[in-house]
Structure 1
Amino acid sequence: MNQTTPRPDDPAFTALWEAHRRRMLDLAFRMLLHFPDAEDVVQEAFARLARTDLVGIDDPEAWLVVVTSRLCLDKLRARRRRPTDGLDLVDDPFDPHAPDPSNRVALVDNVSMAMHALLERLSPAERTSFVLHDVFQYPFEEVATIVGRSAASCRQLASRARRTLRAESASGRFPVDSALHRQVSERFIEACIGGDLEGLLVLLDPAVEGKGDTVPGVAVGAAEVAPGILRYLGPPASPTLLHLPVGDRIGIVALRGRRVLALVLLTIEDGLVVHVDALAGPGPRAVVSAALGLR
């Protein structure tokens, strides 16, 4: 599907597309864990918005969240009725004989596959309630209007999903994305999108280290690392940035269209980024592409 604004000649609509598309894409991906499906859902949500009188919508972002979430819920229910091989990425993502997780590519591969397998075990309503409330902090009263159940029922659905995730986290098989990681990743992405050097610097430890797998050497210090990050992730390059939890680190995927450019891993200590690891080689990009469903 062509990922462009449905009303390119309408400045007001284009502004809404630019302001909200990335967040809707992030929401759809976290629910579906399949990037092409997430893109299609977001495109359809904006297409529906394009057919709606914007004057009658008080809060376009809230409107988009409801429509995007309901479209995702429909897809999740359809998957339950018609499971596809595309999501059955491995027979056992928790295979004890898997490659050494100290290998960065293997880590991304193993955790991503585990995340797919685990969330597929949740019912569509459990998954939707959990992602909307626990990940995106929407109140259960709003979640209820999307899921089509009472707020109390959605609270119970999210609780069941949370217990399942925590049980896997306690076993060491599936580290759960923390609220702190979510907050840091959002601020990191927003700073990159806006080319906000100061906003990025406040997220970095003064002694942060940055390295990549395609360039030699290690950058040391926030004043050196931050401009390098913006050079590749900020304007004018401006790739699409997507949050992908990877073990106990934050993963930021940079994409151009449906092509993965890099995976940036952020290590957090005491609320600050202490290490930035940019993986842009063919191996990591292929693994991330597979994890996103871009094969």
Structure 2
Amino acid sequence: MSDEAALAGSFEQERPRLRAVAYRMLGSAAEADDAVQEAWLRLSRNGADGIESLPAWLTTVVARLCLNMLRTRGTRREAPLDDALPEPVEEAADPEQEAVLAESVGLAMLVVLDTLAPAERVAFVLHDMFAVPFDEIARMTERTPTAARQLASRARRRVRGADPAAKEAEVARQRHVVQAFLAASRDGDFEALVAVLDPDVVIHADRTAGPTPEPVDIRGRLRVAQGASAAAARVAFTEPALLNGVPGLVMAPAGRLRLVLTFTVVDDLITAIDVIADPERLRGVHIEVL
């Protein structure tokens, strides 16, 4: 076997791990593949001479590429949302593959990661998800190990929020109701939906989320249940999350936040649902991973 073939074989062994790292940093399968492929091109041009650890070298190259891509992404969050309640994952070259990758990470996690500064995201992903030492992260991000540790710590606070045990005690009941609503919506189970809705429940959709240019209110649990049970395709890309500290739902095809649903729960029944898709309002929603 030639040296080039051996090098290619070694790289292919590392490709799945590198792709997993890049996807968590970038939230896009296509961009992750681009970063991994660029790492291979650099390796094939320069060879492995002088590389003590090929996995570590490749991780460093991919991390730096991802960091640069995050820094130059710039205006992505400022782009206007498409039509309300869009069809899922229209941006993916391979929607099925993108959906599998998003599910492996968690849609809510991808949304929260997307709120981090580039260096924070890289530090958190490498250390908390892939156990890369801070000394190595420091070299990748061109910071000191102490600064790299601080980056990961800030990101961790954003991702995890307050003490999970204390928070769980406060929100467990509402979380159970919201998850029951989501499960019934996914299954198209009309009776189960009706069971978690107050008879006088109202759902309010803002101008971006509603089917018309004006806000829309729908009242009554039968009408709300009918609408929810008919949205199974979109619900497939919806997950529970903490929205401003309260359990709700985020819809994020391929990890791209499109809308959130906040709930008012009284006596274990949903009395109100607010559907938020307006970009300005979405920026005011603090999202944490359950």
**Band of TM-score, shorter chain:** 0.3 to 0.5
- Larger Cα Rg: Structure 1 or Structure 2? 2
User: What is the TM-score when the length of structure 1 is the normalising length?
Assistant: 0.47
Structure with more contact order per residue of length (Cα contacts < 8 Å, sep ≥ 6): 2
